[in-house]
Amino acid sequence: MNILVLYAHPVKTSFNAGLHRTIVERLSAAGHTIDDCDLYAEDFDPRLTRTERLGYHDQRSPADAVASYVERLCKAEALVLSFPVWNYGYPAILKGFFDRVFLPGVSFKLVDGKVRPTLHNIRKMAAITTYGGSRFRAMLMGDPPRKIVKRMLRATIKPGAPVSYLAHYSMNVSTDATRNAFMAKVAATMDAF
């Protein structure tokens, strides 16, 4: 399976970087083809420009600034997101990827003013993330990243495709034992992906 791994963390020595390495290693070992998109390493610009916003509903073309990312997304058969949750949201670079790449004509089309999902090439999706605070605090805030993955992104990909969301909460007070247990859970999930 051709899997697009979207990774968003700027520190190569972070726990998130370790999760990312585990994801790529385990998926590769399972025989998948990995398109490892490290947004920071690729210096992805998350800013939606004025020109892009004005042409948001226009037909996509190879001249689009994000055409190569659109092509990678459209070639993917599965999507794995690897990111930390900061301030109850996505890192700006990942949010910008959604804003600039998940476009009309790419992830959805408008038919008589209604949104029709079009990323049916993606047959499976997983999100691997960490939160500084507890699950309870995230729930109090509505846990936007979880909802976006489990609702909005799920609605964009192939209908009925399996979606998993693995989160390590309370990173601010985590221990070697809790981090190792989560890493093992991620490895097992990727082995079975």
| pLDDT tens-digit series, residues 91-122 | 999 999 999 999 998 999 888 888 899 999 99
pLDDT > 70: what percent of the chain? Answer: 100
Name which of 27-31, 59-63, 100-104 the model is least confident about. 59-63
Q: What is the mean pLDDT of residues 140-152?
A: 95
Q: What pTM does this model have?
A: 0.94
Task: Inform me whether the pLDDT recorded for 71 exceeds 90.
Answer: yes
Q: What is the mean pLDDT of residues 26-40?
A: 98
Buried-state track 51-88, b at ≥16 Cβ within 10 A, e below 16: ebeeeeeeebeeebebeebbebbbebebbbbbbbbbeb
Q: What is the mean pLDDT of residues 14-32?
A: 98
The rounded distance, in Å, linking the Cα atoms of 171 and 70 is: 33
The rounded distance, in Å, linking the Cα atoms of 125 and 58 is: 28
| Residues forming beta bridges with residue 4, ordered by sequence position | 35, 79
Cα torsion 98, 100, 104, 105: sign: negative
The rounded distance, in Å, linking the Cα atoms of 42 and 21 is: 16
The rounded distance, in Å, linking the Cα atoms of 10 and 133 is: 20
Q: Where are the domains of the chain?
A: 2-192
The rounded distance, in Å, linking the Cα atoms of 37 and 69 is: 9
The rounded distance, in Å, linking the Cα atoms of 79 and 18 is: 18
- The CATH number of 2-192, from 3.30.460.80, 3.90.1170.50, 3.40.50.360, 3.20.20.70, is 3.40.50.360
- Residue 61 has what pLDDT? 83
- Residue 112 has what pLDDT? 87
Mean predicted lDDT score pLDDT of the chain: 95
- Residue 50 has what pLDDT? 93
